[in-house]
Structure 1
Amino acid sequence: MKSQPLRIGGGAFNGRRLQSVPGLQVRPTSGRVRQALFNMLRPVIRDAIFVDLFAGTGSVGLEALSHGARQVYFVEQDRRVMATLRRNIEQCGVGHRVSIISAPLPQAVQRLPATLKADILFLDPPYGSQLAEQTLSALEPLSLLAPHGLVIWQHAVRHQVPRAIVIGDRLCREEESRRYGDTRLSIFA
């Protein structure tokens, strides 16, 4: 199956084409959901440090950079997907503003810098898996979230998420949940 190009939906790279990964292994966040996400993040994205867990093609993290994020940490384990991610970063010319961690989650959280204070942690695990819960458990003892930081969890509508999560010494409660077709964004602050 030939891959369909993705497009950045706004900001400095608006309309920029990104490569996708052939087949059904990677499910990029739809343009509609990315647009809604970055409309919500508009007040906080400028100069933010954004962590894109389960990065895939990098479309969400690159959209964050397009909207003014200062730095993005991409976490991805699959080598074939990683090659696509690197090409997309190169196409956008933002290599100096990204860090890539090539390791499986949840173990990869140990490779994030100990001094990191992320403004936004974005989780988009494979639907139907428990990888988000496992990753959040691995993040629990780490103080990686800035005092005003957000955790955004993209998941299938049918997937039940907890009302609160702990990251470091921070208790983050679900503040908002928005549905887009079969996808839900749960925002914790």
Structure 2
Amino acid sequence: MRVISGSARGRTLKAVPGMGTRPTTDKVKEAIFSIIGPYFDGGAVLDLFAGTGGLGIEALSRGMDKAVFIDKEYKSIETVRSNLKAAGLEDQAEVYKNDAERALKALSKREAAFDLVFLDPPYRLKIGDALMKQMDELKLLRRQATVVLEYESSYIYPDRFGSFTQLRKAEYGETTVSIYVYDQESGSV
């Protein structure tokens, strides 16, 4: 795994020790950023279920101003911190060990708002849409925010729900990536 483009291009990223995480492959990461970017003029990114932190780090490398990384596994948190340091991006990041739902509630108390969110929950959890609705209710998303949802290809999320509309969906073997745009004007949760 490596940072593909931007200020940290070519930096190698460590994997989380053990078999508990499923890092996004460089091929899928490149495909995601060719759809949503490829570069950014600032903004804030949330990497929920961060794992290695590879997606959030890639977004920082490509121009996002700041990132928040959340994972409930201690090994993942250590790996994210190590990868941020290796990429020279630790000053632009906050890293928290927490459960996703509790983390979202805590972020709402800080009045955080995000332009880009990466949601890559364990495949056994089919909670992407519920977490997106929670982000809407807690006002954690800026208008026209992009949400990248990665999940098991055998599962199907709706094209449209609440304030979210799917812009694109792509399958990569066992992995499917859906790109949603948020518009708080269009839906009611």
TM bin (shorter chain): 0.7 to 0.9
What residue is the counterpart of 2:151 in the other structure?
Answer: 155
SS at match of 2:166: strand
Q: How many Å apart are 1:110 and its aligned residue? A: 0.9
Q: Distance in 1 between matches of 2:139 and 2:172?
A: 31
On the 8 A contact 2:38/2:62 being kept in 1, the answer is no
Moved over 3 A (4+): none
Spell out the pairing of 1:79-118 with structure 2 (5 A cutoff): 79-113=74-108, 114-118=110-114
What residue is the counterpart of 1:28 in the other structure?
Answer: 23
User: Of 58, 68, 91, which aligns to 1:63?
Assistant: 58
SS at match of 2:64: coil
What residue is the counterpart of 1:179 in the other structure?
Answer: 171
On the 8 A contact 2:77/2:95 being kept in 1, the answer is no
User: Of 42, 51, 56, which aligns to 1:47?
Assistant: 42
Please report the TM-score for the alignment, with normalisation by the length of structure 1. 0.88
Q: How many Å apart are 1:134 and its aligned residue? A: 4.0
CA RMSD of aligned residues (A): 1.7
On the 8 A contact 1:136/1:165 being kept in 2, the answer is no
On the 8 A contact 2:6/2:61 being kept in 1, the answer is yes
Query: Percent sequence identity over matched residues?
Result: 29
Q: How many Å apart are 1:59 and its aligned residue? A: 0.5
On the 8 A contact 2:41/2:63 being kept in 1, the answer is yes
Q: Distance in 2 between matches of 1:165 and 1:103?
A: 26
On the 8 A contact 2:2/2:26 being kept in 1, the answer is yes
Number of positions where the alignment pairs a residue of Structure 1 with one of Structure 2 = 180
Q: How many Å apart are 1:137 and its aligned residue? A: 4.2
SS at match of 1:63: helix
Q: Distance in 2 between matches of 1:100 and 1:134?
A: 23
In structure 2, the CA distance between the partners of 1:44 and 1:188, relative to structure 1 (3 Å rule), is farther
On the 8 A contact 1:101/1:111 being kept in 2, the answer is no
Cα deviation per residue 1:107-166 (whole Å; 9 max; x = unaligned)? 211121542221111100111212424423432411111112111101111111122244
User: Of 153, 164, 180, which aligns to 1:188?
Assistant: 180
What residue is the counterpart of 1:3 in the other structure?
Answer: none
Q: Distance in 2 between matches of 1:14 and 1:44?
A: 13
Gaps of 5+ in 1: 1-5
